[in-house]
């Protein structure tokens, strides 16, 4: 059976373009912001952003994956859009309250105004853009996401230049960050709504099943965000802003190198749900068929990082001279994910999201435990080691979950 149908290839190219546009412009703005704020200021911003990204899935409530599934399988785009917007605006104030509470414990010395600016940017602007992006993928209009990402990237780069010219502070960048996210989020959602419309849905009419399902996806996504982001928050808590800054910069470079892998997986996401709707065995078989592609992308990225790492301080400044070491330490991160992600996505598509969530919660426990143990002793090296061990544990869990499922010990 073919994997790379023409529609999949076309969707992959558009999604790849949107990801490259996003991270390409983010790389440009990242270098400008890093130069403006220095490693200390960049560390403060990264720790703030990491905490909001940890909470944001509980505002989104699984919107991206569930929109693609519902539109692909049931095909009620107006209703799907309206119900997900209702959930977002219901969960937004709760998310803000929780974020402020955690901030007071973990980041007491960071400005509350700056924190709220970043939180609103991520919780509102970012989630609106996620909803619009999912609708575009589900309705085979992924090209729109490329347009949105290019416009968003240009805007962010312009704001980064403004920050550099103003010799601005962290507070100014957080305000500019909020302006960019809200503008792009509202505009991208408006584009989708103009095309397909929005069916107004009262929150009381949503089933408890959808809310609980959203919480399950949120827990899974938040868990994933925790073991990729929480180390920055813990680093600034146990070390200092400088170490947090150059470590966060290295992680950002690794995420950029993972773009082709993430884009490919996003493009085949609808196909996963089609296979999973047939049976878990069909979804697992599809995961195995795409794995040579994901492994090729992961290996290329991991090897490439070793060669480009020494060039990073030239781009973002001598204040980040330790960043190449960080990149080389965690270069294998992408290769491990190339094994792990297809297995995890197949679980989700097969209706086994709870199993995936359990694994990711276990991964959070491993990651936080290792970080609390290792960061105070080995600073950023402890965080890097914790990240790699967590990814290996997740890979073993998902492989074991599929052995358990296919051996007949789990019935759908």
Convert the pLDDT of each residue in 32-68 to its tens digit.
888 888 888 888 998 899 889 888 888 888 777 788 8
Task: State residue 1's pLDDT score.
Answer: 44
The per-residue pLDDT of the chain, averaged, comes to 84
**Gap between the Cα atoms of 357 and 363, Å rounded:** 10
The size of the chain, in residues, is 412
Question: Tokens representing 133?
Answer: 């992006």
Segment 316-339 mean pLDDT: 90
Helix axis angle, 332-349 to 259-267, nearest 10°: 10
Domain assignment present for 325: yes
Minimum mean pLDDT range among 69-73, 206-210, 275-279, 308-312: 206-210
Give Cα 81 to chain centroid, integer Å: 21
Residue matched to tokens 């068929």: 289
Domain assignment present for 356: yes
Phi first, then psi: give them for residue 350, nearest 5 degrees: -95, 5
Q: Assign 3-state DSSP to the chain and report helix, strand, coil percentages, each to 5.
A: 90, 0, 10
**Gap between the Cα atoms of 268 and 285, Å rounded:** 14
Comparing 10 with 83, which gets the higher pLDDT? 83
pLDDT at 2 over 60: no
pLDDT at 29 over 90: no
Comparing 277 with 169, which gets the higher pLDDT? 169
Q: Which domain holds residue 171?
A: 6-409
Domain assignment present for 219: yes
Task: State residue 242's pLDDT score.
Answer: 87
Which residues lie closer than 8 Å to 300 by C-beta, 6 or more apart? 260
Give Cα 412 to chain centroid, integer Å: 28
Please count the structural domains in the chain: 1
pLDDT at 345 over 90: no
Domain assignment present for 1: no
14 band by pLDDT with thresholds 50, 70 and 90: low
């Amino acid at each position: 059976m073919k994997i790379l149908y023409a529609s999949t290839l076309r969707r992959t190219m558009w999604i790849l373009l949107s990801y490259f546009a996003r991270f390409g412009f983010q790389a440009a703005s990242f270098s400008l912001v890093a130069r403006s704020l220095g490693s200390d200021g960049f560390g403060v911003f990264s720790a703030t952003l990491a905490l909001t990204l940890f909470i944001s899935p509980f505002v989104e409530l699984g919107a991206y994956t569930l929109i693609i599934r519902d539109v692909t399988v049931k095909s009620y785009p107006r209703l799907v859009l309206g119900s997900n917007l209702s959930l977002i605006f219901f969960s937004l104030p709760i998310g803000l309250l929780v974020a402020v509470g955690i901030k007071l414990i973990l980041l007491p010395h960071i400005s509350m105004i700056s924190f709220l600016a970043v939180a609103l940017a991520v919780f509102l602007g970012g989630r609106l853009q996620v909803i619009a992006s999912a609708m575009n993928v589900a309705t085979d209009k992924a090209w729109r996401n490329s347009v949105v990402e290019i416009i968003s990237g240009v805007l962010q780069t312009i704001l980064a230049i403004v920050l550099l010219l103003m010799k601005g502070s962290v507070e100014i960048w957080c305000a500019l960050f909020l302006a960019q996210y809200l503008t792009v989020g509202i505009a991208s959602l408006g584009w989708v709504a103009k095309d397909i419309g929005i069916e107004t849905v009262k929150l009381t009419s949503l089933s408890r099943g959808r809310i609980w399902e959203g919480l399950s996806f949120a827990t899974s996504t938040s868990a994933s965000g925790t073991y990729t982001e929480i180390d920055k928050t813990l680093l600034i808590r146990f070390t200092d802003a400088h170490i947090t800054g150059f470590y966060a910069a290295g992680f950002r470079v690794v995420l950029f190198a993972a773009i082709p892998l993430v884009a490919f997986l996003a493009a085949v996401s609808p196909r996963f749900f089609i296979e999973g709707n047939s049976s878990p065995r069909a979804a697992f078989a599809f995961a195995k068929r795409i794995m040579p592609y994901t492994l090729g992308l992961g290996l290329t990225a991991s090897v490439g990082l070793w060669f480009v790492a020494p060039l990073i301080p030239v781009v973002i400044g001598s204040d980040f001279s330790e960043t190449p070491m960080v990149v080389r330490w965690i270069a294998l991160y992408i290769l491990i994910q190339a094994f792990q992600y297809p297995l995890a996505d197949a679980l989700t598509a097969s209706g086994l999201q709870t199993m995936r969530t359990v694994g990711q919660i276990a991964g959070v426990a491993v990651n936080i435990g290792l970080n609390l143990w290792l960061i105070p002793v080995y600073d950023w090296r402890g965080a890097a080691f914790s990240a790699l061990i967590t990814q290996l544990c997740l890979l073993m869990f998902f492989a074991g979950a599929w052995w358990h499922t296919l051996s007949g010990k789990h019935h759908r």
